[in-house]
Chains A and B, each alone.
Chain A
Amino acid sequence: KQEVTQIPAALSVPEGENLVLNCSFTDSAIYNLQWFRQDPGKGLTSLLLIQSSQREQTSGRLNASLDKSSGRSTLYIAASQPGDSATYLCAVINDYKLSFGAGTTVTVRA
C-alpha cells in the first residue's frame, strides 16, 4: 500500500523567500507524480506533473524534482508572494490510482 508523507505540515515565510516543500512515498514503482494546490473551500488545481522517467519539471516560478529510487519529490517555489498562500498536495500515481499526502499549508506574509 502506497503511503505518502509531506513535510512540513505548515510553513510561514515572509514574502520573497523561496519555498521548499517535501514529499516522500513508500512504493517507488510509481507511474507519475503530480503536485496540486488547494485554496480554502476550493478544488484542486494541478501545478506540475512529473512522469516517472523525468527528474524534474518547471513552470514559471515552480520547479519540482523527482527521485524515484529514494521515494522523494520536492517542490520549489521561487520568490514567494502572498498569492502563493494555499495548501500544496503531492499525489503519486500507481496503476491509475492517486495516493495523496496530507498537504503542506503555506502562508506567505506580506
Chain B
Amino acid sequence: EAGVTQFPSHSVIEKGQTVTLRCDPISGHDNLYWYRRVMGKEIKFLLHFVKESKQDESGMPNNRFLAERTGGTYSTLKVQPAELEDSGVYFCASSQGRGRYTFGSGTRLTVV
C-alpha cells in the first residue's frame, strides 16, 4: 500500500508570495487532515476533509490559508500571501474512519 505523499518536501518563498502544498492520501481513505508544526511548538490541527467536504476547519489560522480537495482525492493547501510566521512543517495525514492515522513526510515551508 502506498503511503501518504506530500510535495514539495521543501519550499522557500519570499514574504507576500503564494505557495501551494499538495497531499495525496492513501487510496480509499475518505478522511484527510492537515496539521502543522511551527518552530518549537507542538503539532497542531488545521483542518479535516471527509471526501471533498470540509468537516472541521477550526484550526486554520486565518483567511490567508485555503484548502481544497477536489473530487475527494488529493488535497491542496494554499497560503496567499505568505507571512514570516507561516514558516514551519506542514503535515498531511489520512485515515479510514477513526482508525490508524498515516502521515506524510511533510513539507518544510520557509518564508523569508
A→B interface (CB under 8 Å) = 4, 31-32, 34, 36, 41-46, 49, 89, 91, 93, 96-103
Contacts and interface: CB of A to CB of B under 8 A. Distances in A.
B56 interface: yes
State the majority secondary structure of interface residues on B: strand
Interface in B31-48: 31, 33, 35, 41-45, 48
A96 B55 contact: yes
Contacts, number: 56
Contacts of A34: 100-101
A94 B45 CA distance: 12
Interface of B: 6, 31, 33, 35, 41-45, 48, 55-56, 91, 93, 95, 98-106, 108
Contacts of A42: 105-106
12 contacts: A34-B100, A42-B106, A43-B106, A46-B101, A49-B99, A91-B101, A93-B98, A96-B98, A97-B56, A99-B45, A100-B42, A100-B44
A101 B42 CA distance: 6
